[in-house]
Structure 1
Amino acid sequence: MRPIIQFFGQILAPTARRFHQALDDPKSTQICVQREICDRLIASEYGKTLGISSVADWQRVPVVDYDELAPWIGNPQHRKNQQIPLTPELILFYERTSGSSGAVKWIPYTQSLRRSFNQMFCVWAHDLIAHGPKFSTGKLYACISPQLNSPDSQSLQNDLDYLDGWLRWFLRPWLVMPEGLNRLHDAHLFKHQLALALLQAEKLEIISIWSPSFLQVHLKYIQENQELLQAELHNKISSDRLQLLTENNIPWTQLWSNLKLISCWDSANAADQAKGLRSQFPGVLIQGKGLLATEAPMTIPLIAAQGYVPVLDEVFFEFEDDTGLLHGLHELSIGKEYTIILSQKGGLYRYRIGDRVRVTHFYHQTPCLEFLGRHQAISDLVGEKLHETFVHNALNSINLQGIDFKSLVPVANPPHYILLLNSATQTPEIIAQQLDKALSQSYHYYRARSLGQLAPPQILISHQIPEVLALYRIRNGSIWGGIKHPILTTSPISPELLQQLKLVDCKD
């Protein structure tokens, strides 16, 4: 199999070579991409409405968010294989996305946008083959998510659905993909069938997921249902691997002894969970996915770069600094922080995606970008104005070492905050006191507490909390494999979800 993998690398080499050449001249590359995207804008009804006739008119294109573009996107149920005013290309499908707060968004996909994701994958895969672990089996699990309450959804359910047909065809023999798994509507059945499939994939070499918590949920299911899975897998896997399923702490790297790579989010709020995977899978490369959104591929992790390089030959980037000034990719400075405004090939122009990055270093002549979190992630029940970065630092200042799931959520009535943890070494009362003290370093929070506007914070602790949150989000339109658990939720928690969380807290 190794020669076939190397042959695959040779197929990808021309794409990777062009990308690396682009990194040597980011200014010229971005000018070309901007012109190409502007040509699409000019040919669209949206561009004609704005009066855009050339790239010289670019500054007249408004910087927008999703809500401002939603009327131009229309109803995805009526638009498949049709045109929309944002692009002259046909819409192949719509992909559903939702951030850590807010309503579901539908992102239109054209052939050109899909090709952008395809190019990104080719560069990433080539880098892994050329510079990563010596892959020998090629067996790959790419994230599949259940449609727990949306049987008619057009949404993609498989990481590889973002790729062009030829590439999906080439990769299909290597996939660990149980038939019909993405059509299951029951979470328990989904976990069971996926566990069986993964356990039978003895030669599994690569796991590609989004959130690390998605994998943790399924590892926990395997650990808690050892006897049942062992009985079903009798005569289907080796006796040695069956024996591993009897251990109190399953040795995951022995269970999948060929595993060499887990690709997942590892920045911002996912950092602690990725750290947990690194401790569970010593010797396995846990590689961050870079900044990859439903709207566009933004950065690629390159081993040779030791960081995340922007997809500068497919997406046009503008970067807003803290003073509101916009900068081109070639104008960024090391150590500075910026908010991304992107234009891509599917009809989103000067789109404020809300992601914040820091320039870490340069690779070739191009800045590498570290994802910091969402811009303006603020919770404000009574004027306390808690910012995500402040909350992250506050939680780091109290004794929560070794806890890989932390999320602070606001409660509207009475106004207060609840810290959700999957484990703890101290009592909830002590943690609550430490948390209140740490948050009181914010003047607005301290004033709100002093005036009695905010009740004292509470703590809920249960290993079931991440899954309860995920299943609730799925029922409200999210895709399981792509759920992000924010360090700070900006919208008050629903009473229904709070009740579910309190129930599992009591059980633990």
Structure 2
Amino acid sequence: MRPIIQLFGQILAPTARRFYQALDNPELMQTSVQKEICDRLIKSEYGKTLGIHSVDDWQRVPTVDYDALEPWLNQKQQQISLTPEPILFYEKTSGSSGAVKWIPYTQSLRRSFNQMFCVWAHDLIVHGPKFSTGKLYACISPQLNLADSQNLQDDLDYLDGWLRWFLRPWLVMPNKLNRLHDANLFKHQLALALLEAEKLEIISIWSPSFLQVHLKYIQENQDLLRTELHNRISDHRLQYLGESNISWMQLWPNLKLISCWDSANAADQAQGLRSQFPGVLIQGKGLLATEAPMTIPLIVAGGCVPVLDEVFFEFEDDTGSLHGLHELNIGKEYTIILSQKGGLYRYRIGDRIRVTHYYRHTACLEFIGRHQAISDLVGEKLQETFVNNALTMLNLQETNFKTLMPTADPPHYILLLDSAKESPEIIAEQLDLALSESYHYKRARAIGQLAPAKVLISSQIPEILVSHRIRTGSIWGGIKHPILATSPISTEFLQELKLEIGQK
């Protein structure tokens, strides 16, 4: 298989070469992409309404969020007012905040994702682990809501037809998995398929917690799985599957790469995977959203480089000034405004980045969180970065999962953890002190507006939250667990949560 993998690398080489040339002159490349995107805008009804005649009119294009574009978007038609290109399909996002959004996909937007994949795959083949089997599991999210059956079925649906065709033989693809509407049946079928794939080399998922859920399922149902896999996998692997603490590296000795989110809120969970899979490259996804590919993790660059030949970027600093990609400073933080080839122009995606270093002549960007993720029950205005720092001070060494949730009745905060050394009571006391470093939180506590913070600890918490999010319309593989939830948890769900983990 190694020669075929190397041949694949050679097929991708011209695309990669063009991309690296673009990195040498980001200003020139971005000017060219801006013009290409502006030409589409001019031909669209949206552009005509705004009176855009050339790229010189760019400043007249308003910076918008999804709500501002929704009247132009939410038509579920083959042709919409935002782009002259036909719409292939609409994809639902399941971000960590706000209502569901439907993003239109055109052939050009799909090609942008395709281009990003080609550059990434080329870098892995040339600079990454020596792949020899090519066996790949790409995240499939179950369609647990029947209404979701129009969504992309797996990671590869973002790619062009030729690339999907080329990759199919290497895929670990359980039969009809995407047609299952029952979460446990989905977990069971996926566990069987992964366990049968002894030569599995690459796992590509979104949230690290998605993989953790399936590993937990395998551990908890090992006897049942062993019975079903009798005569289907080797005796020594059946033996590994029977151990009280399964060694995942013995089950998948060829595993070399796990691609998943690893920054901001996913950092702890990715770290958990690193300890479970020593010697495997756990590589961050870079910044990738349903709306657009934004950065590509490149081994050769030592970080994430922007997809500067497909997406036009503007960066807003804390004073509200906008900067081009070639004007960014190392160490500074910015909020992204993007324009892409599917009909989103000057779109506030809400992601914040920090410039880590430069590769060639282009800034490398690290995702640091959502812009203005703030929880405000009674005026305490807790901000995500502050909460993240407060939780770091608690020194939760054995914790891979943590999320702070506001609850309204009575107003207080609940910290959900998958495991911890200390008792919930001790952690709750420390948490209250750490949050009281915020003047507004401290005042709200002092005057009795906020009840003391509480802590719930259970290994089941991540899974219960996922089930709840799926029931409320999220897509499993893409669920993000924020460090700080910004809307209060419902009383009903809180009761259900306590009941599930056996607390009053």
The equivalent position to 1:280 in structure 2, one of 276, 280, 296, is 276
For residues 46-65 of structure 1, what are the alpha-carbon distances to aligned partners after superposition, in whole Å with 9 as ceiling and x for unaligned? 00000000000000000000
- Aligned pairs for 1:15-414 within 5 A: 15-76=15-76, 79=77, 82-151=78-147, 153-414=149-410
Question: For 1:422 and 1:105, how far apart are their aligned partners in 2?
Answer: 30
Q: One-letter code of the match for 1:438?
A: A
Is the partner of 2:21 in helix, strand or coil? helix
For residues 15-73 of structure 1, what are the alpha-carbon distances to aligned partners after superposition, in whole Å with 9 as ceiling and x for unaligned? 00000000000000000000000000000000000000000000000000000000100
Shift in Å, 1:402: 2.3
Question: For 2:184 and 2:38, how far apart are their aligned partners in 1?
Answer: 47
Is the 1:468–1:500 contact (alpha carbons within 8 Å) kept by the matching residues of 2? no
Is the partner of 2:80 in helix, strand or coil? coil
Question: For 2:345 and 2:122, how far apart are their aligned partners in 1?
Answer: 29
Give the aligned length.
Answer: 504
Question: For 1:496 and 1:144, how far apart are their aligned partners in 2?
Answer: 30
* Identical-pair percentage: 81
Q: Which residue of 2 aligns with 1:506?
A: 502
> Structure 2 regions of 5+ residues with no counterpart?
none
My pick for the range that moved more, 288-297 or 474-483, is 474-483
For normalisation by structure 1, the TM-score amounts to: 0.98
Shift in Å, 1:183: 1.0
Q: Is 1:440 the equivalent of 2:461? A: no
Question: For 1:116 and 1:501, how far apart are their aligned partners in 2?
Answer: 41
Shift in Å, 1:150: 2.6
Q: Which residue of 1 aligns with 2:459?
A: 463
Is the 1:212–1:274 contact (alpha carbons within 8 Å) kept by the matching residues of 2? yes
Q: Which residue of 2 aligns with 1:7?
A: 7
> Structure 1 regions of 5+ residues with no counterpart?
none
Q: One-letter code of the match for 1:288?
A: G
Shift in Å, 1:194: 0.2
Question: For 1:223 and 1:61, how far apart are their aligned partners in 2?
Answer: 54
Is the partner of 1:153 in helix, strand or coil? helix
Shift in Å, 1:504: 2.6
Question: For 1:495 and 1:97, how far apart are their aligned partners in 2?
Answer: 26
Is the partner of 1:235 in helix, strand or coil? coil
Shift in Å, 1:475: 1.3
Is the partner of 2:253 in helix, strand or coil? coil
Is the partner of 2:150 in helix, strand or coil? coil
Is the partner of 1:506 in helix, strand or coil? coil
Is the partner of 2:146 in helix, strand or coil? coil
Runs of 4+ in structure 1 deviating by more than 2 angstroms, as ranges, are: 150-153
Is the partner of 1:206 in helix, strand or coil? strand
Is the 1:267–1:288 contact (alpha carbons within 8 Å) kept by the matching residues of 2? yes
Question: For 2:299 and 2:429, how far apart are their aligned partners in 1?
Answer: 43
Is the 1:462–1:504 contact (alpha carbons within 8 Å) kept by the matching residues of 2? no
Question: For 1:54 and 1:150, how far apart are their aligned partners in 2?
Answer: 44
Is the partner of 2:500 in helix, strand or coil? helix
Q: Which residue of 2 aligns with 1:429?
A: 425
My pick for the range that moved more, 96-105 or 388-397, is 96-105
